[in-house]
Amino acid sequence: MDTPPPTTGAPRAQSLFRNPVVIAGALITTISALLFFVGFFVDLFGLHTNPYLGIVFFIAIPSAFIVGLLLIPIGLWLERRRRHQGLPPSLREWPRLDLNRDRVRTIVFAVLVLTPANLMIVGMASYKGVEYMDSVGFCGQVCHEVMEPEFVAYQFGPHARVKCVDCHIGPGADWFVKSKLSGARQVVAVLLASHPRPIPTPVHDLRPARETCEQCHWPAKFHGDKVEMFREYADDEANTESVTTVRLRIGGIDMAGNPRGIHWHVAEENAIEYIALDAARQEIGYVRLVEADGEVTEFRAPGVTDAQLAAGERRGMDCVDCHNRPSHTFARSAERAINELLGAGGVPLTLPFVRREGLQAITGEYGSQDEAFAAIGARLRGFYQAEYPEVWAGQQADVERAVLSLNDLYRRNVFPSMKVTWGLHPDNRGHMEFPGCFRCHTDEHATKDGRVIRQDCDLCHDIE
Full pLDDT tens readout for the chain, 464 residues: 455 555 544 444 566 777 888 888 888 888 888 877 777 777 667 665 555 565 666 667 778 888 888 888 998 898 888 888 888 877 766 667 777 877 777 877 776 776 676 666 666 666 666 677 778 887 887 777 788 999 999 999 899 899 888 888 877 666 777 777 777 777 777 777 788 888 888 777 788 888 888 888 888 888 888 999 999 999 999 999 999 999 999 988 877 788 888 998 988 888 999 999 998 999 999 999 999 889 999 999 999 999 999 999 999 999 999 998 888 889 999 999 999 999 999 999 999 999 999 999 999 999 999 999 999 999 999 999 999 999 999 999 999 999 999 999 999 999 999 999 999 999 999 898 999 999 999 999 999 999 999 998 888 888 87
**Which amino acid is it at 78?**
L
The answer to whether the CB of 403 falls within 8 A of the CB of 380 is: yes
Beta bridge pairs of residue 260: 252
The answer to whether the CB of 242 falls within 8 A of the CB of 273 is: no
Residue 257, pLDDT score: 80
Residue 267, pLDDT score: 86
Helices (H) and strands (E) in the chain, counts: 14, 9
Give the C-alpha separation, 44 to 61, whole Å.
16
Q: How many CB atoms lie within 10 A of CB 221?
A: 12
- Contacts of residue 12, defined as CB under 8 A and 6 or more positions apart, other chains included, come to none
Q: What are phi and psi of 180, to 5 degrees?
A: -70, -35
Residue 457, pLDDT score: 84
DSSP state of 95: P
Residue 10, pLDDT score: 43
Residue 208, pLDDT score: 84
Nearest to 287 by CA among 278, 296, 253: 296
Q: How many CB atoms lie within 10 A of CB 25?
A: 21
Residue 49, pLDDT score: 55
Give the C-alpha separation, 462 to 245, whole Å.
8
Residue 173, pLDDT score: 66
Residue 62, pLDDT score: 76
Whether pTM exceeds 0.85: no
Residue 200, pLDDT score: 83
Helix (H, G, I), strand (E, B) or coil at 260: strand
The answer to whether the CB of 286 falls within 8 A of the CB of 300 is: yes
Give the C-alpha separation, 430 to 438, whole Å.
8
Give the C-alpha separation, 159 to 260, whole Å.
26
Residue 188, pLDDT score: 78
Give the C-alpha separation, 438 to 138, whole Å.
38
Give the C-alpha separation, 75 to 82, whole Å.
10
Residue 11, pLDDT score: 47
